[in-house]
Structure 1
Amino acid sequence: MEIENLKVIGSEEWCIFEEFGIPAIKARVDSGAKTSSIQANNIKIIHRGTEEWVRFEVNPVQDNRSIFITCETRLYDKRLVKSSSGISEQRYVIKSPVTIGDQTFEIELTLANRDAMEFRMLLGREALMNRYIVNPSTTYVETSFTQEEVSKRYAPFIKEKSGLKIALLASNPELYSNKRVIEAGIARGHEMVFLNVEQAYMKLDAIEPEIRYRGGNIIDEFDAIIPRIKPSVTFYACALIRQFDSMGAYCLNSAEAITQSRDKLLATQLFAKHDIHIPITGFAKSPLDTKDLIKMVNGAPLIIKLLESTQGKGVVLAETNKAAESVINAFKSVQTNILVQEFIKEANGQDIRCFVVNGKVVASMQRQAAKGEFRANIHQGGTASKIKITSEERKLAIKAAKILNLPVAGVDIIRSNKGPLLLEVNSSPGLEGIENATGLDIANIMIEAIEKKLKFKI
C-alpha cells in the first residue's frame, strides 16, 4: 500500500473491543513489538467440544482494578514471548476485532500481565501494517475521550456498596499491596477504609471500649480488619488488633499470630518442634561460644540474621570462618540478637515464595537473586517468575502457616540437597511480586477469605 494511503496514528490511542464489551482502553502504539497484547488476569483454559477457549479478566482502566470485565474467546495459539525484562514465558494468543476511530479490523493479542506497565494494552506492528503510519509526537489522533466520557462508559461496571465494612490497618496507602487490597474490596461491593496504624488510639474500658482516629472520630463498626503491619510498629499495631478483636471485628491475621511470626527465634523453635525441616540454625549469647556456634552450623559460608530483619535487610553472608567470627562478635558487642544459619549453596540464590490463604497455597513464585547477591529478594534487584511447586513443598508451606495460626502468610522455601527447607514465614506478605509473576488476583482471594469466614454472600 502506498504511504499516502495510510492513516496517521499517534503514539497513544483509544481502542474499543465490542466483542468483549470493553468500551475504551488506552493502548501504547509500539512498532518495535510484533504482536499486540492486552492486560489479563485469572486466565483459565476451558473446553467447548473439541475447541480450547480461554476465559480471562481485563482491568481496562489503569490503576483501577475495581473495574473488571470477564472475557471469553477461542484460543488461537500459545507462544514463547520474551518480556521487556528479558524473561521468556509462554503466553496465550487470541484474535479479536478492534475498533480504532472509524476502522474495525481483526488483530492478534497476547494475554499478558501488564499491571506494572503504564498502559493496559500495547498495539504492535502487525496491527499497524498496511493501515497506519505512526507519528510519535502526537496522541489520540483517531479518538480522544475526555475523562468524563470514559467515566460514563464505565459507569455500568461500578458496583454499589452493599457489602461489609472492612478496614486495612497499615502505614502507607500508596504501597502497591495496600492499594490492591482496597481495590479488590471495592470491586466486590464492600466499603473499604484505610487506617494508619500511628493515627489510631484506644480507650481501654470494660463497659465502653473504643478506638479513635486522629481528630477524635470513633471507629468501632468494622466487620473485618486486614492487618498489613511494618516491623517498626508491630507492638503498637498488635495492641490495636487485639482491641478490634475484643470489639467484635474479625482480624484476618490475629495479633498473637503476627507476634509469633515476627519473633524469628520463637518461630524457628516452633518449626523445629513440629518437625519442619529448616536450615541448621544456631543462637548463643556469649562471644566465648562463637567458634563452636559456627562449627555447629557446618562452618562458613554461613548466614547471619538480625532477629528483627525484614525484606532481606539485616541479613549477612559470611564467606569465611574468620569473617563470621568478626560479624557475630560485633553484633554481640552491641547487645544485638542474631541467628546463625547454614548457607544452602546449591540453591544458587533462588528461593520460592508460597502465598497461603486459609490453608491453601493460592500462588507461588520463584525468586532469583540479583547478580552479586546471595539472597533471592525482589526488593534488592532480584527477579520473580511463576513456578509449579511439588506436593512436598505445598504441604510444607501449609503446615508452616498453620503452626503460626496465620490465615494469610507468605512462606519462603529453599530447595536443598536434603529436600525443601523452610526459611521463614511472613505475616504481611507483599502482593506486587507474586501478582505480577503469576497474573493471579491475590487481593481478591484475600477478600473472599473474609467473606467466607463471615458467611457473607454477594
Structure 2
Amino acid sequence: MAKRKIGMWLYQNGGGDVIQKKMIEKLKQRDIDVVTNINLRNAIAKNGHILYKDLKLDKLDLFFSYNAGEQTQYQMYLYKALNKVMPMINNFDAFELTEDKFQTSFLLRNNNIPTADYKLCHRNDTHHLQAIMKKWSKMVYKPTDGWGGVGLTKIENEEALNMLLPFLNQINVRYFYVEKFINYDNTDYRVDIVNNEFVGCYGRKASKKDWRTNVTSGGTVFKREPNEQIIDLAKKAAKITNLEIAGVDIIYDKKKKEYLVLEVNGIPAFATPEQEKIGIDYNDKKIDMIVELIDKKTFKKRGY
C-alpha cells in the first residue's frame, strides 16, 4: 500500500504550531505524510493542475485548510477548484455556505433550527429597514461575510439607522442583512463538533463596554458545560450545514426562553495555552477526531 499524503494549512498563532505538530505525529502513526504551510496564495493553476512550488496539489489524497485569518479571494477560488477533484476539510460548499451569515440562517430556519429573526433587503429598500426597526426596536447590522465580530453594529433607534445607511451606501454594500437584537445574558456557548460528534464546549462573555462576546471585541473565555439540549442543537446545525468541523455559537433568548444558533463557524479555533490552563482541555480529543476523519477520507479516496 503506497503511503498517503495530505496537504495542510493551519494557523500558527495562539498555539496552532503545537496543534499542527501533534496532528502530524498522529497522522504519521497511520502512515500518512503531511506537507505543511500550503498557502494557496502562493499556488498557481496550470494545464489541469494546481501547483504549489513543484507539488501538484490535486494529486494529494486530501487538503486540510484551517486558517481563518489569512483567507483571500484568490485562495478561496483555488480552494473551490481543488474541491472538485479531491477531498477537502472542510468541504468547500459547506465552508462557503457558513462564511455567509444570511445563507446559513436561511438554511437553518428552513430546517427548524431556531435563529435570531432576520431580514435581508436590497440597498435601495431602506424603507423596509425603517419599518422593521419600529417593530423590533433594536437590531444588529451584520456583514454577510467576515468573522470575529468585525463590522457588527448594534442599532438601537431610527436615528442610529439613518446615520448608518449613508455610510453603508458609501462603501457600496449591495444589500443589508440585519438580525433582531436578542435579549440575552451577554454570554454564549461555543460548541465544537467534528464529523457530527460532540467534542467540547466553552463559554464567552462580553466585556462591560461591549455587547459582543467575540474575543477580538474584548470578550473573555471561560469554562462552561453545555446541557444535552445545547449539544443536540449544535450537532443538528453542523449536520444541516454539512461541515465536517464546526464551531456552533449558541445563546439563550430570555424573552422566548429558548436557545438560538447565532452562528456556525467552519474554522473554530483550538483552545489557546492560556485557555487550557483554565480547564478548556479538549484539544487532544479534537485532534484525535480530526486525524480519524482524515484517515477515513483518504482511505475512501484511494478506494480501499
Normalised TM-score (structure 2): 0.83
Deviates more, 1:187-196 or 1:270-279: 187-196
User: Within 2, Cα distance between the matches of 1:314 and 1:174?
Assistant: 25
Are residue 195 (structure 1) and residue 35 (structure 2) matched?
no
| Aligned match for 2:219, one of 382, 392, 405 | 382
Query: What does residue 131 of structure 2 align with?
Result: 292
User: Within 1, Cα distance between the matches of 2:79 and 2:266?
Assistant: 14
Question: Residues 252 and 393 (structure 1 numbering): CA distance in 2 closer, same or farther, change over 3 Å?
Answer: same
Query: What does residue 259 of structure 2 align with?
Result: 420
Paired residues for 1:121-200 under 5 Å: 164-169=4-9, 174-176=12-14, 178-188=16-26, 189=28, 190-192=32-34, 193-200=36-43
User: Offset at 1:330?
Assistant: 3.1
User: Within 2, Cα distance between the matches of 1:448 and 1:237?
Assistant: 26
Paired residues for 1:165-244 under 5 Å: 165-169=5-9, 174-176=12-14, 178-188=16-26, 189=28, 190-192=32-34, 193-203=36-46, 205=47, 209-214=48-53, 216-230=54-68, 233=71, 235-244=73-82
Question: Residues 313 and 236 (structure 1 numbering): CA distance in 2 closer, same or farther, change over 3 Å?
Answer: same
- Give the secondary-structure state (helix, strand or coil) at the position aligned to 2:90: coil
After superposition, give the CA deviation of every residue in 1:363-389 in whole Å (9 maximum; x if it has no partner).
111101122110111223322122221
User: Within 1, Cα distance between the matches of 2:264 and 2:15?
Assistant: 17
Greater RCO (Cα-Cα under 8 Å, separation 6 or more): 2
Are residue 359 (structure 1) and residue 162 (structure 2) matched?
no
User: Offset at 1:410?
Assistant: 0.9
User: Within 2, Cα distance between the matches of 1:363 and 1:373?
Assistant: 26
Question: Residues 357 and 177 (structure 1 numbering): CA distance in 2 closer, same or farther, change over 3 Å?
Answer: farther
After superposition, give the CA deviation of every residue in 1:103-138 in whole Å (9 maximum; x if it has no partner).
xxxxxxxxxxxxxxxxxxxxxxxxxxxxxxxxxxxx
Paired residues for 1:49-64 under 5 Å: none
User: Offset at 1:178?
Assistant: 4.1
- Give the secondary-structure state (helix, strand or coil) at the position aligned to 2:6: strand
Question: Residues 317 and 389 (structure 1 numbering): CA distance in 2 closer, same or farther, change over 3 Å?
Answer: same
Does structure 2 conserve the Cα–Cα contact (< 8 Å) formed by 1:271 and 1:400? yes
Question: Residues 317 and 254 (structure 1 numbering): CA distance in 2 closer, same or farther, change over 3 Å?
Answer: same
Does structure 2 conserve the Cα–Cα contact (< 8 Å) formed by 1:349 and 1:373? no
User: Offset at 1:276?
Assistant: 1.0
| More strand by percentage | 1
Does structure 1 conserve the Cα–Cα contact (< 8 Å) formed by 2:140 and 2:152? yes
Question: Residues 321 and 177 (structure 1 numbering): CA distance in 2 closer, same or farther, change over 3 Å?
Answer: farther
Q: Unpaired runs of 5+ in structure 1?
A: 1-161
Are residue 252 (structure 1) and residue 95 (structure 2) matched?
no
Q: Unpaired runs of 5+ in structure 2?
A: none
User: Within 2, Cα distance between the matches of 1:164 and 1:238?
Assistant: 25
User: Offset at 1:446?
Assistant: 1.6
Question: Residues 354 and 343 (structure 1 numbering): CA distance in 2 closer, same or farther, change over 3 Å?
Answer: same
User: Offset at 1:271?
Assistant: 1.2
| More helix by percentage | 2
Question: Residues 231 and 270 (structure 1 numbering): CA distance in 2 closer, same or farther, change over 3 Å?
Answer: farther
User: Within 2, Cα distance between the matches of 1:221 and 1:384?
Assistant: 40
Normalised TM-score (structure 1): 0.57
User: Offset at 1:253?
Assistant: 1.1
Does structure 2 conserve the Cα–Cα contact (< 8 Å) formed by 1:199 and 1:213? yes
- Give the secondary-structure state (helix, strand or coil) at the position aligned to 1:295: helix
- Give the secondary-structure state (helix, strand or coil) at the position aligned to 1:226: strand
User: Within 2, Cα distance between the matches of 1:257 and 1:409?
Assistant: 10
User: Within 2, Cα distance between the matches of 1:353 and 1:371?
Assistant: 20
Question: Residues 413 and 420 (structure 1 numbering): CA distance in 2 closer, same or farther, change over 3 Å?
Answer: same
User: Offset at 1:251?
Assistant: 1.0
Query: What does residue 268 of structure 1 align with?
Result: 105
Q: What amino acid does structure 1 have at the position aligned with 2:176?
A: I
Q: What amino acid does structure 1 have at the position aligned with 2:83?
A: D
Cα-Cα RMSD: 2.6
After superposition, give the CA deviation of every residue in 1:261-317 in whole Å (9 maximum; x if it has no partner).
112111111111111111111222222323112134x112x2111112311111112
Residue-pair matches, total: 284
Identity %: 24
Question: Residues 232 and 175 (structure 1 numbering): CA distance in 2 closer, same or farther, change over 3 Å?
Answer: closer
Query: What does residue 432 of structure 1 align with?
Result: 271
